[in-house]
Chain A
Amino acid sequence: MLDLSRTLLALATGLLALALLVNVVVVATRRRAPAATAVRPVAVGRGGSHPVSPLSPAALDDDGPVTAVRTSKRGVAWAADRSVELALLAITVALVIRSIHTGHAPFANQYEFACSFAWGITAAYVFFERRYGVRALSLMVLPLPLAMLGYASTVGSEASGLMPALQNHLLLTAHVITAVIAYGAAGVSAGAAVLYLLRPHLKFPGLPSEDLLEEIGYRAIVIAFPMLTIMIILGAIWADIAWGRYWSWDPKETSALVTWLIYGGYLHARVVRDWRGKKTAALLLLGFAAVLFTFFGNLFFGGLHSYA
């Protein structure tokens, strides 16, 4: 059973790597469309709507019309998207199999959490790719689940029993599912922020506009922030039950709080005039750095969470 789970994860790694490679080629070799065949956002309808702002975000938010977008429906780019979705499915099945085998949600040790993290980022990526169709995002985001799966393959994948403090299945599951969703969405926001910051220096045609990247970064936090909030609250409830106090400034919970404050800062920076733009994008990166620090923090500090 566990072997099957591991094989599926290896398969997912391969699929993600393939998709990433294809997307690199597709994005890097994208050309501007000749004006005649340009996809114009003319809405049909008797009166005809005259969109003076973007109609189809991916295609139209760009500097100019782009061929790569709707030329052949089932080319390699299409295959790349399907292969990411397949990878997501493979990771999902792998994690389900593992949970059935171990009898608890796959969040009990660093290996399981790394795989779940990979799942979270892949899932968030698929969600945003379907919603916004921004292929360039994959160049920044897909390396993350790849790195997580790579990292997972270097740490022991043995199934372990749950430490007494972790033996609260409902809370364990809820606490970590919210973490995985939050961290996955945070990964997407960081990818969007990197693209946003690089955008002025990149000369590829067909990159999404800064506005759209800003929007995606924000939309990812719209998911991540409430999830982080709930995750921290669930953690506090759990700490109150298991350790008798809702907050003990344990390094792991404290660094989750740092993450939350940075993203809170980001949400507010967006509405402060001269913070918009580069500074808010930098806060997104800082926030994700805090996510990674929280995740890998166990390697640096002990504390009550050190069983993870």
Chain B
Amino acid sequence: MSIETRPDTPTPPATPDHPDAHDLSVVELLRRLYALFHNKRFGLLLILAMAVFTLVGVLFPQAPGETLADPAVRDAWLDTMRPRYRGWTDILTALGVFGVFGSIGFKVVTILLALSIIACTTHRLPQLWAQAMAPHVSVRDRFFDHARVRATTVVRADAAPTAALLKADLHKLHFRTIADADGTPLYADRNRFAPFGTVVAHVAFVVILAGVFVTTTFGFRADDLSVPVGSRIEVGRGTDLSIEARSFTDSYNPDGSPSDYVSDLVLYADGQQVAEQVVRVNAPLRWGGWSLHQASFGIAADLRVTDAAGAVVLDEALPLQYQLEGRYAYGKVEVPDTDLLVYLITPASGQVVPDIPAGKAQVEVYRGGTDTPVFTTVMTPGEPVDGVDLTWTFERERQYTGLMLSRDPGGPIVWTGCALLAIGTCWTMFLRHQRLWVRLEAIPQGTRVTLASPDRHDSIFARQVHSFVAGLGDTDTRKK
């Protein structure tokens, strides 16, 4: 298949009409791919393509979390978009605009961008190294006539003292000089390692992408943990953690805007207390790679269910975390070992509703998958009610604190990448590799000095070069 695996006999020269004449070897294919990836135009197009994808993600609402993965949830979510996008909704959905960041296109562009950055950097590194360590110091005379920055002056001295003077003055400005065998400076530069900042910035971007990959692949996140104040819940989901909320306080400014949310939390691992902390929005609890964040808060209802024999089948504080028409707050739970789904509904805070008096709660019990409740009643706190062979007690309402538990092995990688990116961009942008080629010519009046740089338009540098050169013209008398 590839040249290397062929027998050592020379391949017969292919005639132009022979199809194999145009065939690619694997090496050649790879070489061309590499050339494509380190092509600056291709890289630019990838950056811009990523910008376009990202822009689409800003312009259109993005379906949260796993919404798009579950057809039922997805349709419900799309229905909330229909009033806004009308007939376009399905077309936009088909185009993937509501889930840009999970789309194949976005992933492909990201991967291509990463490959391109790697190719650019490996391709450029030897050039940068050569430019810093072994620059081409001798140039043709034409160069001095066409370089962007050119300045010339006549020093009334012979070449040797002029060379010494020039070198000394350049060193004062932190230029390094490279001279030929007899000490005549040919080239001067400063900040020669500045271009390596781009290498750091490029590597950084790839490191960040790698970190994000690790986060999304190996990270853990539970952002819907509701812990009623004064109780302890098991996190489950493959962890051995449980969380207790001792208290929760929300406080407000005089103008009604919130000023603080504070939960007093205890974390248990394997039944043992491992951490306790007062957690605020900007002060999460961190333990053993886990982070516990304040995310929300609300009211929970304590519901107790017993069977005919008096055994407790359910005893839970149910967060009333969902809203209905802005007037009702409700929570739901499945009764263990049954097919019963329970909704507990109360008036939303501050709302007066006709069917549920303040302080009471309505219970609705559904049998797996059906739409009509098998049992429904309004309950008074502390008074047991019988229904579907069980006894239901709504004990009381109390506050719950909504927490988010996460574990992110990608974090350290992302932060390393971020540090490199910040360093790399500042390094590249704030330092500048400045290069000057030098020509000394003996003329009757003395020595003509010409400095020239082919680098981009940089009027500040040009000005410095000119005043430097003008200063040289002065110096010859100064020295005498």
Contact B153 A48 (CB under 8 A): yes
Instruction: Return the chain B residue nearest A257 by Cβ.
Output: B54
Contact A61 B459 (CB under 8 A): yes
| 23 examples of A-B residue contacts, CB within 8 angstroms | A44-B470, A47-B446, A49-B473, A50-B153, A57-B463, A160-B255, A164-B280, A165-B282, A168-B282, A215-B456, A222-B430, A226-B426, A226-B430, A229-B425, A233-B418, A244-B404, A244-B406, A245-B408, A249-B57, A257-B54, A261-B48, A265-B47, A293-B58
Contact B429 A225 (CB under 8 A): yes
Q: Which chain A positions have C-beta within 8 A of B295?
A: 243-244
A110 to B8, CA, bound (A): 74
A272 to B260, CA, bound (A): 51
Contact A230 B422 (CB under 8 A): yes
B 394-427 contacts with A by CB, 8 A? 404, 406, 408, 411, 414-415, 418, 421-422, 425-426
Contact B466 A49 (CB under 8 A): yes
Q: Which of A51, A241, A297 has the most CB atoms of chain B within a 10 A radius of its CB?
A: A51
- The reply on A127 being an interface residue by CB < 8 A is no
Contact B429 A167 (CB under 8 A): no
Contact A46 B473 (CB under 8 A): yes
A54 to B293, CA, bound (A): 58
- The reply on B360 being an interface residue by CB < 8 A is no
Q: Which chain B positions have C-beta within 8 A of A229?
A: 421-422, 425
Instruction: Return the chain A residue nearest B471 by Cβ.
Output: A45
Instruction: Return the chain B residue nearest A307 by Cβ.
Output: B257
Interface string of B454-465 (1 = CB under 8 A from A): 001111101100
Q: Which chain A positions have C-beta within 8 A of B149?
A: 53
Contact B422 A226 (CB under 8 A): yes
Q: Which chain B positions have C-beta within 8 A of A47?
A: 153-156, 445-446, 472-473, 476
- Contact among B47, B61, B259 with A264 in the assembled complex (CB-CB below 8 Å): B47
Interface residue tally for chain A (C-beta within 8 Å)? 66
B 275-304 contacts with A by CB, 8 A? 280-284, 291, 293, 295
A194 to B48, CA, bound (A): 21
Question: Shortest beta-carbon distance, B65 to chain A, in Å?
Answer: 10
A55 to B459, CA, bound (A): 7
Q: Which chain B positions have C-beta within 8 A of A254?
A: 54, 57-58
Q: Which chain B positions have C-beta within 8 A of A257?
A: 54
The 3 closest A-B pairs by CB, nearest first: A47-B473, A45-B473, A57-B459
Contact B473 A244 (CB under 8 A): no
Residue ranges of A at the interface with B (Cβ–Cβ < 8 Å): 43-57, 61, 131-132, 160-165, 167-168, 211-212, 214-215, 222-223, 225-226, 229-230, 233, 236-237, 240-247, 249, 251, 254-255, 257-258, 261-262, 264-265, 268-269, 271-272, 275, 290, 293, 297, 301
Instruction: Return the chain B residue nearest A259 by Cβ.
Output: B51
- The reply on B440 being an interface residue by CB < 8 A is no
Instruction: Return the chain B residue nearest A131 by Cβ.
Output: B460
A244 to B255, CA, bound (A): 28
- The reply on B107 being an interface residue by CB < 8 A is no
Question: Shortest beta-carbon distance, B293 to chain A, in Å?
Answer: 4
Instruction: Return the chain B residue nearest A50 by Cβ.
Output: B152
Question: Shortest beta-carbon distance, B290 to chain A, in Å?
Answer: 11
Contact A43 B466 (CB under 8 A): yes
Contact A163 B58 (CB under 8 A): no
A269 to B259, CA, bound (A): 46
Which of B38-46, B89-97, B317-325, B370-378 lines the interface with chain A? B38-46
- The reply on B101 being an interface residue by CB < 8 A is yes
A150 to B44, CA, bound (A): 37
A246 to B284, CA, bound (A): 14
Interface string of B188-230 (1 = CB under 8 A from A): 0000000000000000000000001000000001010000000
- The reply on B111 being an interface residue by CB < 8 A is no
Contact A261 B284 (CB under 8 A): no
Q: Which chain B positions have C-beta within 8 A of A61?
A: 459
- The reply on B27 being an interface residue by CB < 8 A is no
- Contact among A46, A53, A290 with B151 in the assembled complex (CB-CB below 8 Å): A53
Question: Shortest beta-carbon distance, A286 to chain B, in Å?
Answer: 9
- The reply on B339 being an interface residue by CB < 8 A is no
A236 to B211, CA, bound (A): 13
Q: Which chain B positions have C-beta within 8 A of A244?
A: 221, 223, 284, 291, 293, 295, 404, 406
B 38-78 contacts with A by CB, 8 A? 40-41, 43-44, 47-48, 50-51, 54-55, 57-58, 61-62
Instruction: Return the chain B residue nearest A241 by Cβ.
Output: B282
- Contact among A54, A167, A237, A265 with B459 in the assembled complex (CB-CB below 8 Å): A54
Q: Which chain A positions have C-beta within 8 A of B47?
A: 261, 264-265, 268
Contact A165 B281 (CB under 8 A): yes
- The reply on B469 being an interface residue by CB < 8 A is yes
Given contacts A47-B446, A275-B44, contact A164 B258 (CB under 8 A): yes
- The reply on B268 being an interface residue by CB < 8 A is no
Question: Shortest beta-carbon distance, B430 to chain A, in Å?
Answer: 7
Q: Which of B58, B283, B295 has the most CB atoms of chain A within a 10 A radius of its CB?
A: B58
Instruction: Return the chain A residue nearest B258 by Cβ.
Output: A164
Question: Shortest beta-carbon distance, B58 to chain A, in Å?
Answer: 5
A224 to B269, CA, bound (A): 46
- The reply on B477 being an interface residue by CB < 8 A is yes
Instruction: Return the chain B residue nearest A269 by Cβ.
Output: B44
A247 to B62, CA, bound (A): 14
Contact A43 B467 (CB under 8 A): yes
Q: Which chain A positions have C-beta within 8 A of B281?
A: 164-165, 167, 242
Given contacts A46-B476, A49-B466, A247-B212, contact A160 B257 (CB under 8 A): yes
A29 to B61, CA, bound (A): 50
Given contacts A244-B284, A254-B57, contact A265 B51 (CB under 8 A): yes
A53 to B477, CA, bound (A): 26
Contact A164 B261 (CB under 8 A): yes
A293 to B58, CA, bound (A): 10
Given contacts A48-B153, A55-B462, A241-B282, contact A258 B54 (CB under 8 A): yes
- The reply on B150 being an interface residue by CB < 8 A is yes
Q: Which chain A positions have C-beta within 8 A of B284?
A: 241, 244
A171 to B295, CA, bound (A): 19
Question: Shortest beta-carbon distance, A210 to chain B, in Å?
Answer: 9
B 153-167 contacts with A by CB, 8 A? 153-156
Contact B466 A272 (CB under 8 A): no
A226 to B466, CA, bound (A): 30
A13 to B3, CA, bound (A): 73
Contact A245 B406 (CB under 8 A): yes
Contact A226 B425 (CB under 8 A): yes
Instruction: Return the chain B residue nearest A236 by Cβ.
Output: B418
A269 to B43, CA, bound (A): 10
Question: Shortest beta-carbon distance, B407 to chain A, in Å?
Answer: 10
A253 to B259, CA, bound (A): 23
- The reply on B11 being an interface residue by CB < 8 A is no
Instruction: Return the chain B residue nearest A293 by Cβ.
Output: B58
Instruction: Return the chain A residue nearest B62 by Cβ.
Output: A249
A225 to B427, CA, bound (A): 12
Contact B58 A251 (CB under 8 A): yes
Q: Knowing that A46-B156, A223-B429 touch, tell me 6 more A-B residue pairs with CB under 8 angstroms.
A: A43-B469, A50-B153, A160-B253, A164-B258, A222-B429, A275-B41
Q: Which chain A positions have C-beta within 8 A of B246?
A: none
